[in-house]
Structure 1
Amino acid sequence: MKNMTLAYVAQVVDGQLIIPEGKEALKDKEIQGAVNDNRKIEKDFLFIPMVGARVDGHDFIEDAFSKGALASLSERRLNNPSGPYIIVEDTKIALKQIATAYRMQLKIPVIGVIGSVGKTSTKEMITSVLETKYKVIKTEGNFNNEIGLPLTICRIKPEHQVAVVEMGISDFGEMHRLGDIAKPDYVVMTNIGQCHLEFLKDRDGILRAKTEVFEHMPSNGVVILNGDDDKLIGAETFGQKKIFYGLNGQEISATDVEADGITGTKAVVTIGSDSFEVIIPLPGTHNVMNGLAAAAVGRELGLSVSDIKRGLENAGTIAGRNNIIKVREVTIIDDCYNANPVSMKASIQVLGKASGRTIAVLGDMGELGSDERKLHYEIGQSLEENHIGYVFTVGELSEEINKSLSQKNSSCMAHHYKTVEGMLEDLIPIIRSGDTILVKASHFMNFSTVVEAIKNKVG
């Protein structure tokens, strides 16, 4: 991390640098990165211990030194440490201060990916496109909060040419803090959907909270917006250039969208005066939208049409995010990392494209506020419209899905359970060759265990 010497880091965090006798010269040595996990320490990294509910990172400071850490932060005075440390009041705040200071001296473009649904998938697709020309660093997984974002900034090295960072919030003011750290040159907004309603109340509240980021962009920054979203089409920026993408004739658009089974999607993409056919190796129209956002970013950063096409066709996914798993003759759609009404309906549409029997294993969606039961109930209509054969629901709120199907006299074979274990006892025996099984719920439902149970049974 260029210019980030121990002396300067101590100044940035308003901390006290303590160096063991005889090692005073280390104050002018630059840290090479910063992590809060001692298992990820590399030579000359700064270790940032954090106090959690069950683990105190300070207990691993000596282990970090043994693995090559140059120094550590600490919220308390240490007894004969092996290396230098900086005493601060709060290591979490100090991490943000370090990342903010480091970002100020970076010259590479930073792309912030924001939205209610599809941030992680869009980030992955943008990265796939940009990697056809640039050395790209991206957010790992969905480390998109006030700890994950600064850790990503601290991973930027001299060889990186572009940074793609995911920025996630659940309340007002959070995007101001994230924006102040990242100061994105480009912002992609995927949509304004029904999530985090517990604090943001409605879609207008979500829009206000997410657009806080515009205040932290340069005046010559570029905002790339989903033009099919009724809230984003009229979004006001702080003078930054706006580019719209979508399926309704925007400058970056797609036509002739067609499912290529459940493993991909065909489309004709138009970028200004150029058009090309593409097969995105991910299912669903929503992934075409993600691809259009990536195409818009690619164009702004000088990529050719052929580079953009190649990047879209090489796009991949990550575990828990519409990840297609083939085990013998059974297909599992692993989409169990998170869920909200928009992403739930999109995944059900993907399942509906499958040949053979279709099975939806669905759990509760979190942070939906006072309308949470109604929003679960409405999922039943999507299951019916997509002719899903079997539905297995788990959780208090997901019982509303089952109730909806029952009251509609649906042709879906619906079953509800209080526990995952009880559901698996009935699900596992009925799985047979040719089935396609969607597994989706919010992360707290721990539905990754469902995916593993199905894989173990079939394999």
Structure 2
Amino acid sequence: MHTSTTSTVPLEPWTAEQLAAATQGHWHNHQVPQGEIKRILTDSRHAEAGDAFLALKGERFDAHDFVAQVAEKGCQIAIVSHPVEVDICQLVVSDTRLALGALGAYRRQHNPQLKVIALTGSSGKTTTKEMLGSILSRLAPTLITRGNLNNDLGVPMMLLELRPEHQYAVMELGANHQGEIDYTSNLVQPHVAGILNIGTAHLGEFGGRDGICRAKSEIYAHIAKDGTAIFPSDDDFTAQIKTAIQNEKILSFGQGGDIFATDIELQPQETTFTLNTPQATSRVQLPFAGEHNVQNALAAVAFALALDIDLQDIVQGLEQAQGAKGRLNFIPHKNYLFIDDTYNANPSSMRAAAEVLAKQEGIRVMVIGDIGELGAAAAIEHYKLGRDLVSVKGLNFVVAVGEFAPAAQEGARSTQYGKKMQAFLTQEQALPLLISLVETHQTQSMSFLFKGSRYTHMETLMAQLMEKL
């Protein structure tokens, strides 16, 4: 876990007894630490006196190798799956990864005042989470998943940050394999949980959207008996999703659902719509662009209503919400508009971003990096994407960068708009073209949108272009 994922707020301390009870571990050689343990961490670089270092083991690393290093930094406790030859108190557990989960679950169980929302989906998770955070944190202290701490390690790491003052928690759950959401939703024990949509993200791991739907639907297994299940009313997989729901209380969002939008007005940088709920209707001025964000807002409303939040508070929270970094952030720079949507990408969010760019002023240039985790479907998905992006009315240029840029360009050339797209294998090759586009259209205003999967670091190319202007 890197520094950006580390909390700055003092955490609830642990005792040696609590650590052993939570993990079912035993203290090696009966060396039991005395005094309070201030935090549990998995990153050896930040270990210091008062910490317990939990040694994870991955395919390519084994943090048991760093126990000596943390001991030198003054850390007196390690949680290990086998004793190591270091003079440090060692709590021996059967599996450190599962022990991390058990510690997170222990924190969750010892905060009975907490109302938990758990959400998953192929796209929109982060934005919906930020909208919910904006609604709930106005009312009471709320724990919100930071960054991408949404997997079998990240979720318990977030739960370790629970404190008695927290009244709400918004937990984002991601899935890289079958069974992962079953595991994490069992840890968080939600009162309200649901799926936003079933898209094509992570196609490679699940061998198709059916598999994605099965994996995401695991979220419904652990909702409190008197809790509420949330689902999209107009998804291709709505019928399949509903078969996984076990709760009596359900709320749907989207066209034909319990919570839906009418009179949608899309502006370049915001959206207004009428919010319709079973209780009442309200006009909402959403500070997010794009119709897909109306859908995210409807989902946030459904989750909040299920916690009995007042509609007026919900609307105020939505209207004050801010996007996460790298999620359609609008950055005016000199005479240009840059839209930073570089945090991540999947096929449906790429198409949604193109629609947002099409609403902006001047010459509109979309710069896309590769989409990861599509498995064997990668080439065909990029081909379809290229075909669809150049066909978006209002886009003047599409610049594709990366291994699958040629596949996207082939898709573009299957249409009459093939000339709109240029393909490059690297960012270095793409930069001169972007600079020449600016020089060619000197007298006109221009809007750029940058987007790609996290590993493509499209923000680097965006920063390089901004520097040259």
Q: Deviations over 1:28-62 (max 9, x none)?
A: x4x44433235666885433243564684753776
Q: Corresponding residue for 2:468?
A: 457
Q: CA deviation at 1:180?
A: 2.0
Q: Corresponding residue for 1:393?
A: 400
User: In 1, Cα distance between the equivalents of 2:321 and 2:62?
Assistant: 37
User: In 1, Cα distance between the equivalents of 2:260 and 2:284?
Assistant: 12
Q: Corresponding residue for 1:382?
A: 389
Of 251, 256, 267 in structure 1, the residue corresponding to residue 263 of structure 2 is: 256
Q: Corresponding residue for 2:204?
A: 198
> Which AA in structure 2 matches 1:260?
Q
User: In 1, Cα distance between the equivalents of 2:419 and 2:294?
Assistant: 28
User: How do residues 314-393 of structure 1 correspond to structure 2 at under 5 angstroms?
Assistant: 314-379=320-385, 380-393=387-400
Q: CA deviation at 1:119?
A: 0.7
Of 235, 238, 243 in structure 1, the residue corresponding to residue 246 of structure 2 is: 238
Q: Secondary structure at the match of 1:255?
A: strand
**Does 2:445 match 1:438?**
no
Q: Corresponding residue for 1:229?
A: 235
Moved more, 69-78 or 104-113: 69-78
Q: CA deviation at 1:65?
A: 8.2
> Which AA in structure 2 matches 1:194?
T
Q: Corresponding residue for 1:287?
A: 293
Retained in 1: the 8 A contact 2:55–2:62? no
* CA shift in 2, pair 1:393/1:24, >3 Å: closer
User: In 2, Cα distance between the equivalents of 1:294 and 1:57?
Assistant: 41
User: How do residues 22-41 of structure 1 correspond to structure 2 at under 5 angstroms?
Assistant: 25-26=34-35, 29=36, 31-38=37-44
Q: Secondary structure at the match of 2:79?
A: strand
User: In 2, Cα distance between the equivalents of 1:24 and 1:55?
Assistant: 24
Give the total of aligned pairs: 449
Of 59, 71, 87 in structure 2, the residue corresponding to residue 80 of structure 1 is: 87
User: In 2, Cα distance between the equivalents of 1:70 and 1:297?
Assistant: 42
User: In 1, Cα distance between the equivalents of 2:375 and 2:62?
Assistant: 31
Q: CA deviation at 1:426?
A: 1.7
Retained in 1: the 8 A contact 2:117–2:171? yes
Q: CA deviation at 1:112?
A: 0.6
Q: CA deviation at 1:398?
A: 2.7
* CA shift in 2, pair 1:6/1:24, >3 Å: closer
Q: Corresponding residue for 1:215?
A: 221
Q: CA deviation at 1:183?
A: 1.9
> Which AA in structure 2 matches 1:422?
Q
Of 410, 425, 437 in structure 1, the residue corresponding to residue 432 of structure 2 is: 425
User: In 2, Cα distance between the equivalents of 1:404 and 1:97?
Assistant: 48
Q: Deviations over 1:167-208 (max 9, x none)?
A: 000221112211221222211311011121112222222111
User: How do residues 151-190 of structure 1 correspond to structure 2 at under 5 angstroms?
Assistant: 151-190=157-196
**Does 2:448 match 1:448?**
no
Retained in 2: the 8 A contact 1:194–1:340? yes
Q: Corresponding residue for 1:148?
A: 154
> Which AA in structure 1 matches 2:466?
K
Q: Corresponding residue for 1:100?
A: 105
Q: TM-score, normalised by structure 1?
A: 0.90
Of 2, 16, 27 in structure 2, the residue corresponding to residue 6 of structure 1 is: 16
> Which AA in structure 2 matches 1:128?
S
Moved more, 422-431 or 109-118: 422-431
> Which AA in structure 2 matches 1:15?
G
> Which AA in structure 1 matches 2:422?
H
Q: CA deviation at 1:356?
A: 0.5
Identity score, percent: 30
User: In 2, Cα distance between the equivalents of 1:300 and 1:279?
Assistant: 22
Q: Secondary structure at the match of 2:391?
A: helix
* CA shift in 2, pair 1:370/1:39, >3 Å: closer
User: In 1, Cα distance between the equivalents of 2:14 and 2:29?
Assistant: 16
* CA shift in 2, pair 1:269/1:389, >3 Å: same
User: In 1, Cα distance between the equivalents of 2:42 and 2:393?
Assistant: 45
User: In 2, Cα distance between the equivalents of 1:296 and 1:361?
Assistant: 34
Q: Secondary structure at the match of 2:365?
A: strand
* CA shift in 2, pair 1:44/1:194, >3 Å: same
Q: Corresponding residue for 2:6?
A: none
Retained in 2: the 8 A contact 1:103–1:153? yes
Retained in 1: the 8 A contact 2:44–2:69? no
Q: Corresponding residue for 2:415?
A: 408
**Does 2:16 match 1:16?**
no
Q: CA deviation at 1:299?
A: 1.9
* CA shift in 2, pair 1:412/1:308, >3 Å: farther
CA RMSD of aligned residues (A): 2.6
Q: Corresponding residue for 2:145?
A: 139
User: In 1, Cα distance between the equivalents of 2:29 and 2:263?
Assistant: 64
Of 107, 115, 118 in structure 2, the residue corresponding to residue 109 of structure 1 is: 115
Q: Secondary structure at the match of 1:320?
A: coil
Q: Secondary structure at the match of 1:393?
A: strand
* CA shift in 2, pair 1:391/1:60, >3 Å: farther
User: In 1, Cα distance between the equivalents of 2:164 and 2:147?
Assistant: 22
Q: CA deviation at 1:15?
A: 2.6
Q: CA deviation at 1:358?
A: 0.5
Q: CA deviation at 1:242?
A: 1.4
* CA shift in 2, pair 1:61/1:374, >3 Å: same
> Which AA in structure 2 matches 1:104?
Q
Q: CA deviation at 1:265?
A: 1.0
Q: Secondary structure at the match of 1:199?
A: helix
